[in-house]
Amino acid sequence: MKSKKRTKRHMQHRKIRRTRIKKHAKSGKVRVIRIKDGRIPSGVPNFDCLVEGGFEKSSTNLIVGGAGSGKSIFATQFIMEGIELGENCLYVTFEEKKEQFYKNMLEFGWDLSKHERKGRLVFLEYTPEKVKNMLEEGGGAVESIIMKKKIKRVVIDSITSFELLFQDEFAKREAALSLFNMINNWGCTSLLTLEEENSNETKMASRALEFESDSIVLLYYIRKDGERERFLEILKMRGTEHSNKLYRFEMTKKGIVVDKKPARISARI
């Protein structure tokens, strides 16, 4: 009886939201963030309050959107947040050339080259075949980097090219499963980007990768009254009472900033 009570109290405690004070290193500005235990802040302003404080620790998350929708920028913000919190991070890209990517990100004030020199960031330009080999080797060089450097956050940008290596849905699902299992074993919180135009629920449901992920965030870049606007939506997040509304976001000088209030949009995306 006593232990039951204790368990119940413990459970209640786990549900209680904590508040964390975060001080910006440069400006000294203080931010108060409400978080559920074990949550990993995304680094994207106003996103975490939509998902009870951030991504779940050690979870595998998908960021889905069309070309130019902001996936790589979202992923880099996630990495920069980790670096700011003193975590070592890994960014694996199939698509971008490192030099150009670093240059683009510097526009937002994110000096990836500096963090790489300091050993906070490991940046790998990989071919999808290399990732396939990594799977066959059961982790290989990447896994030893993760262990050696005690990597906490991983980005794989993007998983689309990896998927193209496999012919049918079954092979894709098998590969996705082993990739997800491997990432889970690493114990890192990971973010995988997936390129998909006009994502919608029906289409998503048929895809192999989405089943395995702990969360799916959709990014839209849609034309409205002659100009394009950006929106974000959380399609799923396991174990989380997440918002089911659509939020506008802007690409600012500091990257993605999500509106605090849901978008007033009547059209179906």
Quote the CA–CA distance of 88 and 149 in Å, as a whole number: 7
Interacting residue with Mg ion among 72, 76, 88, 189 (CB under 5 A): 72
Q: What is the DSSP letter of 120?
A: S
Pairwise CA distance, residues 69 & 217, whole Å: 12
Pair of tokens at residue 170: 């079954």
Q: Which stretch binds ligand ADP (CB under 6 A): 23-31, 38-46, 65-73, 163-171?
A: 65-73
Stretch binding Mg ion (CB under 5 A), from 68-76, 159-167, 178-186, 204-212: 68-76
Task: Name which position in 45, 70, 82, 128 contacts ligand ADP (CB under 6 A).
Answer: 70
Nearer to ligand ADP, 95 or 116 (CB): 95
**The Cα angle at residue 137 between residues 133 and 143, in degrees rounded to 5:** 100
Query: Quick check: 73 binds ligand ADP (CB under 6 A)?
Result: yes
Per CB under 6 A, the segment of 30-38, 69-77, 83-91, 114-122 that binds ligand ADP is: 69-77
Handedness of CA 26, 31, 37, 42 (dihedral sign): negative
What are the phi and psi torsion angles at 234 (to 5°)? Answer: -100, 115
Dihedral angle, C-alpha 77, 81, 87, 91, nearest 10 °: 0
Candidates 42, 59, 61, 72; binder of ligand ADP (CB under 6 A) is 72
Q: Quick one: tokens of 241?
A: 């009472």
What sign for the dihedral angle of Cα 179, 180, 186, 188? positive
Q: Of 212, 222, 233, which Cα lies nearest the Cα of 59?
A: 212
Quick one: what does residue 73 bind among Mg ion, ligand ADP, none, with the CB cut-off 5 to 8 Å set by partner type? Answer: ligand ADP
93 binds ligand ADP (CB under 6 A): no
Site for Mg ion in 128-187 (CB under 5 A): none
The answer to whether residue 61 forms part of the interface with Mg ion (CB under 5 A) is no
Q: Which is nearer to ligand ADP, 38 or 66 (CB)?
A: 66
Binding piece for ligand ADP, criterion CB under 6 A, among 25-33, 50-58, 64-72, 131-139 = 64-72
Q: Examine residue 251 and tell whether it contacts ligand ADP (CB under 6 A).
A: yes
- Judged by beta carbon distances under 5 to 8 A according to partner kind, the member of ligand ADP, Mg ion, none in contact with residue 70 is ligand ADP
Candidate segments 32-40, 63-71, 121-129, 207-215, binder of ligand ADP by CB under 6 A: 63-71
Handedness of CA 204, 226, 105, 82 (dihedral sign): negative
Nearest approach, Cβ of residue 225 and Mg ion (Å): 27
The token duo for 49 is 């309050």
What's the closest the beta carbon of residue 68 comes to ligand ADP, in angstroms? 3
Q: What is the separation, in whole angstroms, between the first and last Cα of the chain?
A: 52
Measured at the alpha carbon of residue 147, what is the angle toward residues 141 and 149, in degrees to the nearest 5? 95
Question: Contact residues for ligand ADP (CB under 6 A)?
Answer: 65, 67-73, 104, 107-108, 251
Q: Which residues bind Mg ion (CB under 5 A)?
A: 71-72
